[in-house]
Structure 1
Amino acid sequence: MAILTRAGRTLFAQTIAQTPIYLAWGRGASQWQTPSAEPINATELADPIGYRKAKKVGYCYPDDQGDILIQGGRFSLSTQPTQHVYCEFSFDFTDGAGETVRELGLMSGTQANADLPDGLVYLTPEQVASSGTLLLLEHRAPLIREQGVRESFEFVVSF
Protein backbone atom coordinates (compact mmCIF):
# COMPACT_ATOMS: atom_id res chain seq x y z
CA MET A 1 0.00 0.00 0.00
CA ALA A 2 1.31 3.45 -0.92
CA ILE A 3 1.43 6.38 1.51
CA LEU A 4 1.35 10.13 1.11
CA THR A 5 4.74 11.28 2.36
CA ARG A 6 5.39 14.27 4.59
CA ALA A 7 7.09 15.97 1.62
CA GLY A 8 3.97 15.37 -0.47
CA ARG A 9 1.75 16.76 2.27
CA THR A 10 4.01 19.81 2.54
CA LEU A 11 3.73 20.31 -1.22
CA PHE A 12 -0.08 20.30 -0.94
CA ALA A 13 0.15 22.82 1.91
CA GLN A 14 2.45 25.08 -0.13
CA THR A 15 0.10 24.95 -3.10
CA ILE A 16 -2.90 25.92 -0.97
CA ALA A 17 -0.98 28.65 0.91
CA GLN A 18 -0.19 30.35 -2.41
CA THR A 19 -3.85 30.75 -3.39
CA PRO A 20 -6.13 33.54 -2.14
CA ILE A 21 -7.66 32.19 1.08
CA TYR A 22 -10.93 33.57 2.38
CA LEU A 23 -13.19 32.73 5.28
CA ALA A 24 -16.79 32.64 4.18
CA TRP A 25 -19.49 32.95 6.77
CA GLY A 26 -23.11 32.18 6.26
CA ARG A 27 -26.58 31.98 7.73
CA GLY A 28 -26.84 28.21 7.23
CA ALA A 29 -30.25 26.68 6.74
CA SER A 30 -33.06 28.59 8.46
CA GLN A 31 -34.33 25.41 10.17
CA TRP A 32 -31.01 24.82 11.98
CA GLN A 33 -31.68 25.32 15.69
CA THR A 34 -28.46 23.53 16.66
CA PRO A 35 -25.41 22.91 14.48
CA SER A 36 -26.01 20.11 11.99
CA ALA A 37 -23.36 17.64 10.88
CA GLU A 38 -21.07 18.93 8.17
CA PRO A 39 -21.46 16.91 4.94
CA ILE A 40 -18.08 15.75 3.60
CA ASN A 41 -19.30 16.30 0.03
CA ALA A 42 -20.17 20.00 0.62
CA THR A 43 -18.79 22.40 -1.98
CA GLU A 44 -20.21 25.71 -0.70
CA LEU A 45 -22.04 27.30 2.19
CA ALA A 46 -25.81 26.91 2.40
CA ASP A 47 -26.43 30.69 2.53
CA PRO A 48 -23.28 32.86 2.43
CA ILE A 49 -23.18 36.32 3.98
CA GLY A 50 -19.67 37.38 2.97
CA TYR A 51 -16.04 36.46 2.39
CA ARG A 52 -13.08 37.88 4.35
CA LYS A 53 -9.54 37.55 2.97
CA ALA A 54 -7.01 36.02 5.34
CA LYS A 55 -5.10 38.55 7.42
CA LYS A 56 -2.27 36.06 7.80
CA VAL A 57 -1.36 32.78 6.10
CA GLY A 58 1.67 30.81 7.20
CA TYR A 59 3.03 27.43 8.14
CA CYS A 60 3.03 25.93 11.59
CA TYR A 61 3.87 22.75 13.47
CA PRO A 62 2.34 20.97 16.46
CA ASP A 63 3.80 22.32 19.71
CA ASP A 64 2.37 21.75 23.19
CA GLN A 65 3.76 25.16 24.21
CA GLY A 66 2.71 26.97 21.01
CA ASP A 67 0.97 30.34 20.83
CA ILE A 68 -1.63 29.15 18.32
CA LEU A 69 -4.42 27.47 20.25
CA ILE A 70 -7.19 25.90 18.21
CA GLN A 71 -9.74 23.27 19.02
CA GLY A 72 -7.75 20.07 18.78
CA GLY A 73 -4.26 21.31 19.57
CA ARG A 74 -1.53 23.89 19.91
CA PHE A 75 0.84 25.02 17.19
CA SER A 76 3.78 27.35 16.64
CA LEU A 77 4.55 29.30 13.49
CA SER A 78 7.31 27.97 11.24
CA THR A 79 9.59 29.92 8.93
CA GLN A 80 9.81 26.82 6.70
CA PRO A 81 6.94 25.15 4.82
CA THR A 82 5.25 22.35 6.74
CA GLN A 83 2.19 20.20 6.14
CA HIS A 84 0.13 22.55 8.36
CA VAL A 85 -1.27 25.85 7.01
CA TYR A 86 -2.22 28.53 9.56
CA CYS A 87 -4.88 31.11 8.60
CA GLU A 88 -5.98 34.12 10.65
CA PHE A 89 -9.04 36.24 9.87
CA SER A 90 -10.30 39.47 11.45
CA PHE A 91 -13.68 40.75 10.36
CA ASP A 92 -14.41 44.47 10.61
CA PHE A 93 -17.13 45.86 12.84
CA THR A 94 -19.64 46.27 10.02
CA ASP A 95 -19.00 42.99 8.17
CA GLY A 96 -22.27 41.06 8.30
CA ALA A 97 -23.71 43.36 10.98
CA GLY A 98 -27.10 42.18 12.20
CA GLU A 99 -26.74 38.73 10.61
CA THR A 100 -26.85 35.36 12.37
CA VAL A 101 -23.84 33.24 11.47
CA ARG A 102 -24.31 29.46 11.63
CA GLU A 103 -21.59 28.25 9.28
CA LEU A 104 -17.98 29.01 8.39
CA GLY A 105 -16.08 27.84 5.34
CA LEU A 106 -12.38 28.13 4.56
CA MET A 107 -12.15 28.83 0.83
CA SER A 108 -9.11 28.48 -1.43
CA GLY A 109 -8.99 30.46 -4.66
CA THR A 110 -11.88 32.87 -4.09
CA GLN A 111 -12.03 35.46 -6.89
CA ALA A 112 -13.73 38.85 -6.87
CA ASN A 113 -15.69 40.15 -9.85
CA ALA A 114 -13.34 41.66 -12.43
CA ASP A 115 -15.02 45.10 -12.27
CA LEU A 116 -14.18 45.59 -8.57
CA PRO A 117 -11.15 47.60 -7.45
CA ASP A 118 -8.07 45.68 -6.32
CA GLY A 119 -7.40 45.36 -2.63
CA LEU A 120 -10.89 44.59 -1.34
CA VAL A 121 -10.60 42.25 1.64
CA TYR A 122 -14.31 41.73 2.33
CA LEU A 123 -16.68 40.61 -0.40
CA THR A 124 -20.43 40.08 -0.40
CA PRO A 125 -21.78 37.11 -2.41
CA GLU A 126 -22.75 39.46 -5.28
CA GLN A 127 -19.10 40.59 -5.54
CA VAL A 128 -17.72 37.05 -5.90
CA ALA A 129 -17.02 35.66 -9.37
CA SER A 130 -15.88 32.32 -7.96
CA SER A 131 -16.14 31.26 -4.34
CA GLY A 132 -13.22 28.86 -4.84
CA THR A 133 -12.81 25.44 -3.29
CA LEU A 134 -14.29 24.71 0.12
CA LEU A 135 -11.43 23.27 2.21
CA LEU A 136 -13.00 23.26 5.63
CA LEU A 137 -16.61 23.56 6.79
CA GLU A 138 -17.84 24.27 10.30
CA HIS A 139 -21.45 24.43 11.42
CA ARG A 140 -21.68 26.30 14.70
CA ALA A 141 -24.03 27.58 17.33
CA PRO A 142 -25.68 30.80 16.12
CA LEU A 143 -23.48 33.88 16.39
CA ILE A 144 -25.37 37.19 16.24
CA ARG A 145 -23.19 39.79 14.51
CA GLU A 146 -23.12 42.97 16.56
CA GLN A 147 -21.64 46.12 15.08
CA GLY A 148 -19.52 46.80 18.16
CA VAL A 149 -17.66 43.47 17.97
CA ARG A 150 -14.75 42.53 15.72
CA GLU A 151 -14.88 38.79 15.13
CA SER A 152 -11.57 36.91 14.70
CA PHE A 153 -10.97 33.31 13.70
CA GLU A 154 -7.92 31.07 13.43
CA PHE A 155 -7.64 27.76 11.59
CA VAL A 156 -4.95 25.19 10.98
CA VAL A 157 -5.45 22.94 7.98
CA SER A 158 -3.28 19.83 8.06
CA PHE A 159 -2.44 17.76 5.00
Structure 2
Amino acid sequence: MNAAAPHDDDVSDEQRRTHRLRFELIFGSLWLALGLFLLPALIYWVGTAALGPYGAPTQGAGAGLSAFYSDFFADLADGAGRAWTIAVGPLLLIYAMRAIFIGVKTDKVERQPLDEDEPPPPRRAPAPKEAKRPAGRPARVEPRMGSD
Protein backbone atom coordinates (compact mmCIF):
# COMPACT_ATOMS: atom_id res chain seq x y z
CA MET A 1 0.00 0.00 0.00
CA ASN A 2 1.43 3.35 -1.04
CA ALA A 3 1.52 6.19 1.41
CA ALA A 4 -0.17 9.36 0.26
CA ALA A 5 2.07 12.22 -0.79
CA PRO A 6 2.41 14.88 1.90
CA HIS A 7 0.41 18.05 1.38
CA ASP A 8 2.09 21.43 1.28
CA ASP A 9 0.66 22.16 4.71
CA ASP A 10 2.38 19.08 6.16
CA VAL A 11 5.86 20.20 5.08
CA SER A 12 7.62 22.44 7.58
CA ASP A 13 9.59 25.54 6.66
CA GLU A 14 12.79 23.80 7.76
CA GLN A 15 12.15 20.94 5.33
CA ARG A 16 11.45 23.42 2.52
CA ARG A 17 14.70 25.27 3.25
CA THR A 18 16.65 22.01 3.37
CA HIS A 19 15.13 20.84 0.09
CA ARG A 20 15.83 24.22 -1.55
CA LEU A 21 19.43 24.27 -0.32
CA ARG A 22 19.98 20.74 -1.60
CA PHE A 23 18.51 21.70 -4.98
CA GLU A 24 20.70 24.82 -5.25
CA LEU A 25 23.85 22.89 -4.35
CA ILE A 26 23.16 20.17 -6.91
CA PHE A 27 22.08 22.70 -9.56
CA GLY A 28 25.19 24.85 -9.01
CA SER A 29 27.49 21.83 -8.96
CA LEU A 30 26.17 20.61 -12.29
CA TRP A 31 26.72 23.99 -13.96
CA LEU A 32 30.19 24.27 -12.42
CA ALA A 33 31.05 20.77 -13.68
CA LEU A 34 29.83 21.81 -17.12
CA GLY A 35 32.19 24.80 -17.04
CA LEU A 36 35.13 22.79 -15.75
CA PHE A 37 34.88 19.69 -17.93
CA LEU A 38 32.49 19.97 -20.88
CA LEU A 39 33.00 23.58 -21.98
CA PRO A 40 36.80 23.26 -22.33
CA ALA A 41 36.30 20.14 -24.48
CA LEU A 42 33.87 22.07 -26.70
CA ILE A 43 36.32 24.96 -26.95
CA TYR A 44 39.11 22.54 -27.88
CA TRP A 45 36.94 20.86 -30.54
CA VAL A 46 35.83 24.15 -32.12
CA GLY A 47 39.36 25.55 -31.93
CA THR A 48 40.96 22.57 -33.66
CA ALA A 49 38.24 22.58 -36.33
CA ALA A 50 38.59 26.32 -37.00
CA LEU A 51 42.28 26.98 -36.32
CA GLY A 52 44.03 23.66 -36.70
CA PRO A 53 45.81 21.41 -34.20
CA TYR A 54 46.36 22.62 -30.64
CA GLY A 55 49.78 23.00 -29.12
CA ALA A 56 52.70 25.30 -28.69
CA PRO A 57 55.86 24.62 -30.70
CA THR A 58 57.44 23.08 -27.58
CA GLN A 59 54.55 20.63 -27.19
CA GLY A 60 54.41 19.55 -30.78
CA ALA A 61 51.89 20.40 -33.45
CA GLY A 62 49.14 18.01 -32.36
CA ALA A 63 49.37 18.06 -28.58
CA GLY A 64 45.75 16.93 -28.14
CA LEU A 65 42.94 17.28 -25.67
CA SER A 66 44.96 16.11 -22.66
CA ALA A 67 47.51 18.90 -23.20
CA PHE A 68 44.64 21.39 -23.53
CA TYR A 69 43.12 20.24 -20.22
CA SER A 70 46.53 20.32 -18.59
CA ASP A 71 47.06 23.92 -19.72
CA PHE A 72 43.49 24.85 -18.74
CA PHE A 73 43.82 23.55 -15.16
CA ALA A 74 47.31 25.08 -14.86
CA ASP A 75 45.78 28.44 -15.84
CA LEU A 76 43.07 27.91 -13.20
CA ALA A 77 45.73 27.25 -10.58
CA ASP A 78 47.61 30.40 -11.66
CA GLY A 79 44.43 32.46 -11.42
CA ALA A 80 44.16 33.36 -15.09
CA GLY A 81 40.97 35.29 -15.76
CA ARG A 82 40.23 33.57 -19.07
CA ALA A 83 40.30 30.12 -17.45
CA TRP A 84 38.11 31.21 -14.55
CA THR A 85 35.67 32.84 -16.98
CA ILE A 86 35.33 29.53 -18.81
CA ALA A 87 35.01 27.55 -15.56
CA VAL A 88 32.39 29.65 -13.77
CA GLY A 89 30.82 31.32 -16.81
CA PRO A 90 27.92 28.87 -17.26
CA LEU A 91 27.09 29.00 -13.54
CA LEU A 92 27.12 32.80 -13.45
CA LEU A 93 25.11 33.04 -16.67
CA ILE A 94 22.37 30.74 -15.37
CA TYR A 95 22.17 32.51 -12.02
CA ALA A 96 22.04 35.89 -13.79
CA MET A 97 19.16 34.63 -15.94
CA ARG A 98 17.39 33.33 -12.84
CA ALA A 99 17.90 36.69 -11.10
CA ILE A 100 16.29 38.48 -14.03
CA PHE A 101 13.17 36.36 -13.73
CA ILE A 102 12.79 36.44 -9.94
CA GLY A 103 9.23 37.36 -9.16
CA VAL A 104 7.88 36.48 -12.60
CA LYS A 105 4.64 34.62 -12.09
CA THR A 106 3.98 31.40 -13.92
CA ASP A 107 0.62 30.07 -15.06
CA LYS A 108 0.15 28.29 -11.75
CA VAL A 109 -2.91 29.52 -9.95
CA GLU A 110 -2.97 29.04 -6.24
CA ARG A 111 -6.22 27.56 -5.06
CA GLN A 112 -7.82 29.55 -2.36
CA PRO A 113 -10.07 27.73 0.05
CA LEU A 114 -13.74 28.52 -0.37
CA ASP A 115 -15.74 29.94 2.46
CA GLU A 116 -18.28 27.47 3.76
CA ASP A 117 -21.08 29.96 3.18
CA GLU A 118 -19.99 30.81 -0.36
CA PRO A 119 -21.25 28.65 -3.23
CA PRO A 120 -18.68 27.27 -5.67
CA PRO A 121 -18.06 29.32 -8.82
CA PRO A 122 -20.17 28.34 -11.85
CA ARG A 123 -18.62 26.03 -14.43
CA ARG A 124 -17.87 27.36 -17.86
CA ALA A 125 -19.92 26.04 -20.71
CA PRO A 126 -18.01 23.67 -22.99
CA ALA A 127 -16.88 25.06 -26.33
CA PRO A 128 -19.20 24.25 -29.21
CA LYS A 129 -18.02 21.31 -31.28
CA GLU A 130 -19.02 22.82 -34.61
CA ALA A 131 -19.46 26.43 -35.44
CA LYS A 132 -22.77 27.22 -37.06
CA ARG A 133 -22.50 28.50 -40.60
CA PRO A 134 -24.00 31.87 -41.42
CA ALA A 135 -27.49 31.95 -42.88
CA GLY A 136 -27.68 32.05 -46.66
CA ARG A 137 -24.36 30.33 -47.18
CA PRO A 138 -24.50 26.83 -48.70
CA ALA A 139 -22.78 23.93 -47.01
CA ARG A 140 -19.47 22.83 -48.47
CA VAL A 141 -19.85 19.99 -50.93
CA GLU A 142 -16.88 17.74 -51.65
CA PRO A 143 -16.40 16.47 -55.21
CA ARG A 144 -16.84 12.75 -55.78
CA MET A 145 -13.76 10.83 -56.76
CA GLY A 146 -14.04 7.67 -58.80
CA SER A 147 -16.70 6.20 -61.01
CA ASP A 148 -20.31 5.47 -60.13
- Give the number of the structure whose residues are more often strand, by fraction: 1
- Give the number of the structure whose residues are more often helix, by fraction: 2
* TM norm structure 1: 0.20
Larger CA Rg, structure 1 vs 2? 2
Compare relative contact order (CA 8 Å, sep 6+) and give the higher one, 1 or 2.
1
